Amino acid sequence: MIVDDVFDKMNKQLEGISKGEVRAANLEVFPRLVGALHSHASSCARCGELYEKSNLYVDDIVAVLRGSKEKRKDFEEAVNEALAHLHHEHKALPKGKILSTSVMAGMLTGLGVAVLAGYIISGDLMGYGALGWLIGMISGWTVGKVRERNLKKQNRLY
């Protein structure tokens, strides 16, 4: 499978490079991104182009991490371009993105609603806030999971 190949190729080069660096460069989603481009490449010319381009980075990922600021910026732009294309043209999204956004939105909404409710009924704001935050987080997580599962069924999650 293409995603595993990309992982292998990158892992071989990434010895000696810390997990923090990998995370900072957003490399966790990258192999799946390449896989998604590849799966659309046969029917979409733009995906084909983006796939070819991203493969250049796969082959020399160390140059991206340890290279010049410019090289790093090129890489980030290529990644963003691919993410945007997959989103707009193929309605596909990376795994985890929806979940984290949904959890964050749930927490903030829960916190806001609970603090407001606590304020209106002159309750314990901290207590209400904590409870609202928790409920919001759980709701957000549930909503995010359901949405991701639906996307996955439609082959729109990578």
- Distance, CA of 78 to chain centre: 15
Residues 121 to 150 in contact with Zn ion, rule: CB under 5 A: none
Output the smallest distance, CB 147 to Zn ion, in A: 22
List the one residue from 13, 26, 46, 145 that touches Zn ion (CB under 5 A).
46
- The 61-90 site mask, x for binding Zn ion (CB under 5 A), equals ----------------------------x-
First vs last C-alpha separation in the chain: 13
- Taken in order 14, 20, 21, 27, the sign of the CA dihedral is positive
Sole binder of Zn ion in the list 10, 27, 36, 47 (CB under 5 A): 47
The Cα–Cα gap between 93 and 88 comes to: 10
> Shortest Cβ distance from residue 79 to Zn ion (Å)?
15
* Candidate ranges 25-33, 35-43, 51-59, 128-136; the one touching Zn ion (CB under 5 A): 35-43
Give min distance, CB of 96 to Zn ion, in A.
Answer: 21
The reply on whether position 44 binds Zn ion by CB under 5 A is yes
**Tokens read off for 49:** 């182009």
Residue 158 CA to residue 56 CA, distance in Å, equals 20
Closest by Cα among 49, 48, 69, 51 to 59: 51
